[in-house]
Each structure stands twice: as structure tokens, then as C-alpha cells.
Amino acid sequence: MLARADRLHREAFRPVTSPRTAYWEPPIDLLETASDVQIVAALPGVDPSGVQVFIDGDALMITGRRDPSPGMRRGVIHHMELPQGQFARRVPLPAGHYGRIDWQAENGCLTVTLRKAGQNR
């Protein structure tokens, strides 16, 4: 069970390489209600002011960067599991039309709420 948990942790923060650049994908939760779709992305240590959230076709894109903390720049790193650098996550959305996008960052997570078109709240 511990080995499976360790493997899942490594896969959750897996780096992705494309011909242009390397980046990592944050793990997400996606939930749908009658009036909206909510995506929660784990972004520990990420400055929310540098995060971009937008709809691209039938998916939500979350992009940004996690930079090393000042302490990491001064010290010797003996172990590092949290990814650094550019991240991008493409989240396929449930079928439908979406209106307003709201998002907030709290406790190392980014919560994005997509209001379904025609829903008022």
C-alpha cells in the first residue's frame, strides 16, 4: 500500500516534455454540479499572481510557474520532490457551455469555478 501511494505521488507531479519546453502537470480534482464545474489544482508554493486560467476549446488551461524559494537558492538540496519551473494542465471539460470563470488560491490550491451558461448565482 505504501509503495502504491509513493508511485501515485510520483505520477501526480510527473514532468512532461514537449518539443518546445519541459513542464510539470499539477494534480487536479474535477467536480460538476447542476450549476457549475469546479476544478481544484494542487499548486504548493506557486504565486497566484503568475497563474493563467482560460478556456481553450473544450478544455480549461491552467499555466504558470513555481520558482525555488530563496532558501533553496542558498542551501544544499538533499531531497526535492516538489516540482519547479513551468507548469501546464489541460483539463477536458464536461460537455456544455460555460459563462463566467471565477478562481481563488488558498492553502496551496487553486480553485476554479466555471458557471454553466444560463445559470445565475
Average pLDDT of the chain, as a whole number? 85
3-state secondary structure of 93: coil
Residue 121 domain flag: no
9 forms bridges with which residues in the sheet?
Answer: none
Return the C-alpha cell found at 110: 487553486
Query: What domain range is 82 assigned to?
Result: 2-116
Residue 62 domain flag: yes
Tell me what the mean pLDDT of segment 68-79 comes to: 80
Domain count, the chain: 1
Residue 31 domain flag: yes
37 forms bridges with which residues in the sheet?
Answer: 32, 114
Residue 53 domain flag: yes
pLDDT at 9: 58
Residue 87 domain flag: yes
Rounded CA separation 107/95 (Å): 30
Note the pLDDT tens digit of each residue in 13-35: 555 555 566 789 999 999 999 99
**Contact assessment for residue 95 and residue 22, using Cβ atoms and an 8 Å cutoff:** no
CATH number reported for the structural domain that contains residue 86 in this entry: 2.60.40.790
Chain centroid to Cα 15, Å, comes to 13
Residue 69 domain flag: yes
